Amino acid sequence: MIISSEQKDSLLELINIGFGRAAASLSELTGQRVLLNVPQFVICPMEEIREHLKDLMQGKVATVHQVFSGPVAGEAILLMDYGGAVLLSGLLSECRVPVDRLDQSDQEVLTEVGNILLNACLGTFGNLLDIHLSFSLPRMQVETLDPLLDSFTIGTESVRYAMLILTTFSLRDSTVHGYLILVLAVSSLDLLVQSLERLG
């Protein structure tokens, strides 16, 4: 599926609004100034996402998953390499002693970060496009990339697309890179694009 430059601009505007709301929520939650930037994003068929990620993610990755349903349905994932996840959880937990692994407390922090980010982004889509979305409870996993990519399923539709959004968390003079992945059935992506046209 090819989207026009105007549709891509509208989509980027929506993403930036959602990330701005997420950053404000994280700043309020942590008492620290958190900035979220979206340098780039790409939409590709699911079978191509491995090519986009394989050189960016090595070894274990930390993910927060959330399934969403409604007129636009799919799965949203916040994805970070393990080291980045450890660093981000440490930055958001000022009083904690730095460690090189994710303990239960770190996982709870990252699950909340994922929940805020995914809900803010998807909630912005829903509000501005006037569609109602429902969300499952977020779940966190630590795994390698291949099992993660093999696990995506959306209903019975075999044609799926991925929206891969690079994001950077900036706080306390540090920057952590992450990826927001939206996995959509082709019917949901069509509806999203149609809604963008009405918005424009």
Task: Please tell me the distance from the alpha carbon of residue 16 to that of residue 9, in angstroms, as a whole number.
Answer: 10
Please say whether the dihedral angle defined by the alpha carbons of residues 81, 15, 43 and 137, taken in this order, is positive or negative.
Answer: positive
Query: Residue 162's pLDDT is what?
Result: 87
Residue pointed to by tokens 């994805």: 79
First to last CA, the chain: 19
| Total number of domains in the chain | 1
Q: What is the pLDDT of residues 40-83, one digit of tens each?
A: 888 888 888 888 887 777 788 999 999 988 888 888 999 999 98
Q: What is the pLDDT of residues 13-43, one digit of tens each?
A: 888 888 898 889 888 888 888 889 887 888 8
Look up the domain containing 94 and give its range. Answer: 5-199
Q: What angle do CA 157, 162, 164 make, to 5 degrees?
A: 165
Task: Please tell me the distance from the alpha carbon of residue 161 to that of residue 183, in angstroms, as a whole number.
Answer: 6
More confidently predicted of 22 and 99: 22
- Percentage of the chain lying above the pLDDT 70 cut: 91
Instruction: Please name which of 184, 187, 149 lies closest in space to residue 43, comparing C-alpha atoms.
Output: 184
Q: What is the pLDDT of residues 130-185, one digit of tens each?
A: 888 898 999 999 988 888 877 765 444 555 888 899 888 898 888 888 999 988 88
CATH number at residue 36: 3.40.1550.10
